[in-house]
Amino acid sequence: MQKRWNILPYSQQQVDVLYNQLKVSKTICKILTQRNFDSFEKSKEYFLPSVKALHDPYLMKDMNKAVARIEKAISTKEKILVFGDYDVDGTTSVASMYSFLCEIYEVEKLDYYIPHRYREGYGVSKAGIDFAYTNGFSLIVCLDCGIKSVELIEYANTLGINFIICDHHLPGEVIPKAIAILNPKQIDCNYPYKELCGCGVGFKLMTALAKYYYVPDEKLFEYLDLVACAIAADIVPMTGENRILAFMGLHKINTNPLPGIKALMELGGITKIMTITNVVFVIAPRVNAAGRMDDAKKAVQLFIEKDIEKAKAFAELLHTDNKERKEADSSITEDALQIIGEDVLLQNKKTCVVYSEHWHKGVVGIVASRLIEHYYRPTIVLTKSGDYIAGSARSVPGFNLYEAIYECRDLLMAYGGHFAAAGLTLLPQNLEAFTKRFEEVVSATIPKHLLIPEIVIDAEINFDEITENFYNIICRMEPFGPENMRPTFVAKNCIDFGYSKIVKELHLKFVVKQHNTILNGIGFNMADKFSLLQNSKPVDIVFKIDENVWNDNKTLQLMVVDIKPSEK
pLDDT digits (tens, 9 = 90+) for 126-145: 999 999 999 999 999 999 99
Cα separation, 47 vs 472, whole angstroms: 12
- What is the pLDDT at residue 343? 63
Assign domain 57-320 one CATH number from 3.40.50.300, 2.40.160.150, 1.10.3210.10, 3.90.1640.30.
3.90.1640.30
- Of the candidates 57, 71, 141, the one whose C-alpha atom is nearest the C-alpha of residue 104 is 71
The number of residues making up the chain comes to: 568
Cα separation, 278 vs 294, whole angstroms: 24
- Of the candidates 286, 192, 211, 200, the one whose C-alpha atom is nearest the C-alpha of residue 243 is 200
Q: Which fold has domain 4-48+455-565?
A: OB fold (Dihydrolipoamide Acetyltransferase, E2P) (2.40.50)
- Per domain, the residue ranges of the chain are 4-48+455-565, 57-320, 342-445
- Residues of the chain short of pLDDT 70, as ranges, are 342-346
Chain centroid to CA 198: 12
- What is the pLDDT at residue 264? 94
The CATH number of 342-445 is 3.10.310.30
Residue type, 88: V
Indicate the helix (H) or strand (E) that contains 554: strand 553-565
Query: Comparing 57-320 with 342-445, is the CATH topology the same?
Result: no
Over residues 432-454, the pLDDT tens digits come to 999 999 999 999 999 999 999 99
Q: What is the largest CA-CA distance in the chain?
A: 80
Q: State the Cα torsion 112-117-122-124 to the nearest 10°.
A: -30
- What is the pLDDT at residue 68? 98
- What is the pLDDT at residue 514? 95
Cα separation, 412 vs 229, whole angstroms: 35
Residue 120, φ and ψ in degrees, nearest 5:
-120, -25
Residue 498 makes CB contacts below 8 A (sequence gap 6+) with 511
- For residues 561 and 544, the answer to whether their CB atoms sit within 8 Å is yes
Indicate the helix (H) or strand (E) that contains 27: helix 26-34
- What is the pLDDT at residue 549? 78
Residue 353 makes CB contacts below 8 A (sequence gap 6+) with 379, 380, 382, 434, 435, 438, 439
CA distances to 5, 186, 201 from 169, in Å:
32, 9, 11
Rg, Å, the chain Cα set: 25
